[in-house]
Amino acid sequence: MRLAALRQKNWLILHDVDSLSDDAAPHQPGPALFDGQAWRRAGLVTGEAPGRGESLFIDRGNEQWVLRPYRRGGLVAHLCQKRYLWLGVERTRAFRELRLTAALYDQGLPVPRPVAAGVKREGLVYQAALITVRIEGARALASRLSEESVDEALLERVGEMIARFHKSGLDHVDLNARNILIDEENTPWLIDFDRCRFRQPGRWQTDNLERLARSVAKFSAATDAVLAAISAGYASAS
């Protein structure tokens, strides 16, 4: 993946050159890419993802994009939902997440293809958004656990997938059943790498799995069976 950065006024944009170019692409890299209302006015918004981020699904003909603005959670969100302290462009959450996702994508790991990250600087603070390619037909593991009987083979593949990411050194700080997607071919994917990072092996791997276990317990009535299958898949790939 070839990443390029550009500046337009108070916007800083990092994008995949193969997805966007200044000359040939129908949507060129620029602030308009991150304007959800503009996409709505053009009639190209096909839906929204659940959650506080107000992510939009955008129709681009041959594929769909997911436009995700960055939003704070927790108590701090009551004071400031969209703005973050400016510490330099490479330390913005959007640039860091896009670069990390691109690195995982280049390793052949099952992640959405990143398209662009946009950062709008406003003095000492900034706002940001990220665009990735939508995984066609995918549903969150949380939804599958809530609506369907336990598919042991699928759950084992989920465990194997997590082990692959851990082997790469990825510490996914928000590993939960909503951030694992299952596509139409029952292939698991991992999403949402905000604040994640590469690390040497350590306690964080167990922490990831424990966080996932707490999430599974919220959505499945067969928690023990689900976790046993995921653990078996994880162990087989470790």
Q: Any idea which residues carry the catalytic annotation?
A: 174
Distance (Å, rounded) from C-alpha 21 to C-alpha 19? 7
Extended strands (E) in 88-155: 114-122, 125-133, 139-140
Q: Which residues of 190-222 are buried (b: 16+ CB within 10 A; e: fewer)?
A: bbbbbebeeeeeeebbeebbeebbebbeebbee
Retrieve residue 158's tokens.
């989920």
Distance (Å, rounded) from C-alpha 116 to C-alpha 95? 9
The set of residues, in sequence order, having a beta carbon less than 8 Å from that of 233 and lying 6+ positions away, is: 155, 156, 157, 158, 159, 160, 161, 162, 163
Please give the single-letter amino acid code of residue 225.
A
Distance (Å, rounded) from C-alpha 149 to C-alpha 136? 23
